[in-house]
Amino acid sequence: ASKQKPKHIKKLDNSVINRIAAGEIIHRPSNALKELLENSLDANASQIQVLAKDGGMKLLQIIDNGHGINREDLPLLCERFTTSKIQAYEDLEKISTYGFRGEALASISHVAHLSVITKTSDSSCAYKAKYIDGALSAGGSSEDSEPKPCAGNDGTQIIVENLFYNIPYRKQALKKTNEEYSRILDVVGKYAIHNAGVAMSCRKIGPKTIGNDVQTSKESSKPEIIRQIYGRSIADSLEKFEKDLSESVLATRFDGYASNGIFSCKKTTLLLFINNRLVENSSIRSSVEQLYSSTFPKSPKPFVYLSISIRPEYVDVNVHPTKKEVHFLNQDQIIIEVVNAIQQVLMHSNNSQVLTVQN
């Protein structure tokens, strides 16, 4: 058989590269929302409002009262790998912001129509700009694409419309708008708990709109927000735990709330924040589940909110396109410490009559 001749290798067009990359970072509306929420928190906002239509597919809007964006930075805002948060690779070692890759807004602008209205405190007016495929765009109108002065409060409003308009199969796969909206609510709720002190709200536009689905105030405490979002029976069953090992070799500190054995959730709920990032970690999840099944006779499913702080140099945040996972040193020992701390409070909880601690 005659061999097929190899095709020539060619560099992809930038627009193709960027759309492929964007698809890796933004899988669904809740990924976009997480990025936008993190930007608002990075901008030191104390108030964040989220609005969604059709599960965020038609419209995702987020308004914050953070430090805003300088007028002269607007042309670069949605260009890939442009950021105000790091300058050198080494900065990643002591990163204290959520963002660092300058990819989120760029990615969104490659798979949706993005507009921004922003005002810094030293500017006399706000500016509005529209973006498509990484660059300022006139959005189909005959005007130029330059940012336009307009009225507005200090802070930033980002409007994302028609998500995946140019990726039909993905748009098709995300037709269950209720499910997408509940993922959005889930992200907002978890960040609201972790960032108690920042007033957050989330609601949807649509026929069944009845006020805010999440609404926290500046004064709400973590347990109060957990109560609002996960309900009374979970909130009433929570025990607080914490441990400071920052002086030890583990260089870690953690705290959180764990449900006692009285309340059994239908499924495990683990709200895990590592250095303030909402992440997943299957080892921590299974260790906590195992603790509950070996501690309580009825093997209840746990509800655990856990916030771990680790010396930034020990954490690798750049392992996943959506930053959904982070890697950290001494993972096994840290998990043992966490499980021990939760076990301690469960044993000493007032409701310990249900406990039959084994071994």
> Which residues from 132-191 bind Mg ion, rule CB under 5 A?
none
Name the residue with the smallest CB distance to Mg ion: 99
Among 25, 32, 37, 43, binds ligand ADP (CB under 6 A): 43
Q: Does 136 bind ligand ADP (CB under 6 A)?
A: no
Q: Please give the single-letter amino acid code of residue 223.
A: P
Instruction: Name which of 32 and 57 has its Cβ closer to Mg ion.
Output: 32
- Interatomic CA distance for residues 134 and 166, integer angstroms: 14
Q: Does 134 bind ligand ADP (CB under 6 A)?
A: no
> Which residues from 44-83 bind ligand ADP, rule CB under 6 A?
64, 66-69, 77, 83
| Neighbour-count burial of 185, counting CB atoms closer than 10 A to its CB (0-12 exposed, 13-18 middle, 19+ buried) | buried
Write down the least CB distance from residue 72 to ligand ADP, Å: 12
In degrees and rounded to multiples of 5, residue 160 shows phi and psi of -115, 120
- Interatomic CA distance for residues 359 and 353, integer angstroms: 17
- Interatomic CA distance for residues 138 and 46, integer angstroms: 32
Taking alpha carbons only, the member of 310, 318, 359 closest to residue 338 is 310
177-194 helix and 222-230 helix, angle to the nearest 10 degrees = 160
- Interatomic CA distance for residues 342 and 241, integer angstroms: 6
Q: Does 40 bind ligand ADP (CB under 6 A)?
A: yes
Write down the least CB distance from residue 289 to ligand ADP, Å: 33
Instruction: Name which of 100 and 314 has its Cβ closer to ligand ADP.
Output: 100
Among 19, 27, 85, 324, binds ligand ADP (CB under 6 A): 85
CB 40 within 8 A of CB 64: yes
> Which residues from 98-117 bind ligand ADP, rule CB under 6 A?
99-106
Write down the least CB distance from residue 62 to ligand ADP, Å: 7
- Interatomic CA distance for residues 31 and 55, integer angstroms: 12
Write down the least CB distance from residue 43 to ligand ADP, Å: 3
Write down the least CB distance from residue 256 to Mg ion, Å: 26
326's contact among Mg ion, ligand ADP, none, with CB below 5 to 8 A by partner kind, is none
43's contact among Mg ion, ligand ADP, none, with CB below 5 to 8 A by partner kind, is ligand ADP
Instruction: Name which of 39 and 237 has its Cβ closer to ligand ADP.
Output: 39
**Residue 216 neighbours by CB under 8 Å, 6+ apart:** 192, 196, 198, 199, 200, 201, 224, 225, 228
For Mg ion, what does the binding mask look like between residues 11 and 50, x meaning CB under 5 A? ----------------------------x-----------
Write down the least CB distance from residue 36 to Mg ion, Å: 8
Write down the least CB distance from residue 83 to Mg ion, Å: 8
Instruction: Name which of 134 and 189 has its Cβ closer to ligand ADP.
Output: 134
What the block records as the tokens of 143 is: 């005007």
CB 222 within 8 A of CB 307: no
Tokens 């701390």 correspond to 341
152's contact among ligand ADP, Mg ion, none, with CB below 5 to 8 A by partner kind, is none
Residue 305 forms beta bridges with which residues? 257, 271
3-state secondary structure 242-284: EEEECCCCCCEEEEEEEECCCCCECCCEEEEEECCEECCCHHH
Instruction: Compute the CA torsion angle 150, 153, 158, 159 (nearest 10 deg).
Output: -60
Write down the least CB distance from residue 72 to Mg ion, Å: 19
For Mg ion, what does the binding mask look like between residues 95 and 134, x meaning CB under 5 A? ----x----x------------------------------
Residues that bind Mg ion (CB under 5 A): 39, 99, 104
Residues near ligand ADP (CB under 6 A) are 35, 39-40, 43, 64, 66-69, 77, 83-85, 99-106, 156
